Each structure stands twice: as structure tokens, then as C-alpha cells.
Amino acid sequence: MKTILQANNVNKIFGAKGNQYTALQSISLSINEGEFVGIMGPSGAGKSTLLNIFSTIDTPTSGKITIDGENIVAMNEEKLSDFRRNKLGFIFQDYNLLDTLTVKENIVLPLALSKVPAAEIEKRVQEIADTFGIRQILDKYPYHISGGQKQRAAASRAIVTHPSLILADEPTGALDSKSAASLLESLSKLNQANQSTILMVTHDAYAASYCQRVIFIKDGQLFQELPQEGLTRKEFFGRILEVLASLGGGHHDAV
């Protein structure tokens, strides 16, 4: 099994001397190719900080991180921007679609800089539009589609480059339950069909129940890992709720 992400002893301290805050402490974890992994934990636990570090948007104070065999901590800014563009896909809560472009134009935007042939681009767009159920809105502009459709368009844009790793921070956070389920089904389908590797931060136990493994963090440290293995989604959902309850003190939307 190929390891896509390997983190060893990652620490993150914010602030200057005398006013420091340890957001992450000795985080070590690894994600295999084709895994769909969730990260959960109370508000302020350090989930977004960790995801931002994996996204190369932020840097760790210490620790080692390799993604698809490359040491991302040592990379200079120029290499990092290539790396982000070629290897990573991002899905965030605010969709970041460009209003002056159609859905289709938004989706192919990341390929504009690449040398992918036009026929290949068209093929990818059609495949992705089917996976995410947005074929009928490809020619619409973002202000004419719903929040759920926007999020699926943003997810499509994140995966059109066939990234090694898809990073999602609360992708269902702004969606109603029907749109959330639809996005999760699509991500699940993508994960199974393409062996895409997905790391998703979520507050929502229902969203996390779509994952194959959930990593819980508390106060910047690993708290527990829960594999879905052998459980139905409903049983897994129940186990996730149990761990959230044992985490205590948090503000979970789903509990």
C-alpha cells in the first residue's frame, strides 16, 4: 500500500515569545493511497491548523511532512506553488467560485495553465459532472445555482487536475442535509472509482460516517482513531458519536 501523506511529530506554536499558543503537539499520522479519512474534534482542537499545514498554506513550527514522497516542509515558494497546483485539490466551506465564469469555466480553470489537450479537458469535465450530478448546470453562472450546486462545482474544480491528495475543510458546513448527503455520496463515489485520497475535516458525525477512518484530535493532540472496517455506515455513525461524547467539552454541531 502506497503512503500518500506521512506526518511525523508535527508541532505548531502560534504567537511570539511570552504570548505563545501551542495549537498542535506531536502529531504523527499517515494516510494511504485511496483512503477517505475524516478529522474530527472540538472547536479549537487544531483541525484547520493541521489541514492548512498539509495544504502548504501554513508551515509547522517543527516536524516532518511528506506528501506523495515529497518533503513539503523544505520546499521553496516557487516549488510549493507547482506542488499545490499539481498534487493537491482543495475544497473549502466558502466555494471561491469566480462569478464572471460559468460553472464549466470555473472547473477547467486549474487546467488553463497545464498542457492538457482540449479533448482530454472536455472528457474530464463530462466525467466529473456525472460524478457530481451537475451536468445540467455547466453553462450557468455561480449566482444562478444553489449552495449545494456551488459546493459540488467547487469540488469538481478541486479534482479536475487528478490530485494525489484532496483536502477538504468542513465541505458540508454551509449545506442543508440533502445537499450535504449529495456531496458526500459524490466524494465517496470518486474515492471508490478513482482511488482518490481524501482528507476531510468535519464537525458532523454523519459526514464523518462516509469515511473509512476517523482521526480525532483534542487540544492539538491525537486523541483516538476509529476505523470503519466491518461496520455498516449506521454502526460507524454510532461509534463516532460515542467517541465525540468521550472527547467532552467540545461544541459539536452533531451532538
Ligand X SMILES: Nc1ncnc2c1ncn2[C@@H]1O[C@H](COP(=O)(O)OP(=O)(O)OP(=O)(O)O)[C@@H](O)[C@H]1O
Residues at the site binding ligand X, with contacts judged by CB under 6 A: 14-15, 21, 23, 41, 43-49
Tell me which residues in 117-146 interact with Mg ion (CB under 5 A).
none
Q: How far is the CB of 211 from Mg ion (least distance, A)?
A: 17
Asked if 49 interacts with Mg ion (CB under 5 A), we say: no
Cβ-closest residue to Mg ion? 48
123's CB contacts (< 8 A; 6+ apart) are: none
Given the complex with ligand X, which of 145 and 201 has the nearer CB atom? Answer: 201
Cβ distance 30 to 6 under 8 Å? yes
What stretches of 68-136 adopt beta strand conformation (E)? 70-71, 88-91
Q: Site for Mg ion (CB under 5 A): which residue of 37, 40, 48, 191?
A: 48
Cβ distance 7 to 30 under 8 Å? yes
Given the complex with Mg ion, which of 48 and 197 has the nearer CB atom? Answer: 48
H or E element, residue 191: helix 177-194
38's CB contacts (< 8 A; 6+ apart) are: 200, 201, 202, 207, 208, 210, 211, 213, 214, 215
Cβ distance 166 to 189 under 8 Å? no
Query: Pick from Mg ion, ligand X, none: which does 43 bind, CB < 5 to 8 A by kind?
Result: ligand X
Query: Pick from Mg ion, ligand X, none: which does 160 bind, CB < 5 to 8 A by kind?
Result: none
Q: How far is the CB of 24 from ligand X (least distance, A)?
A: 8
Piece in contact with Mg ion (CB under 5 A), picked from 5-13, 46-54, 142-150, 218-226:
46-54
Residues 70 and 82: their CA atoms lie apart, in Å, by 12
Distance between first and last Cα of the chain = 35
Q: How far is the CB of 88 from ligand X (least distance, A)?
A: 18
Given the complex with ligand X, which of 45 and 97 has the nearer CB atom? Answer: 45
Residue ranges in contact with Mg ion by CB under 5 A = 48
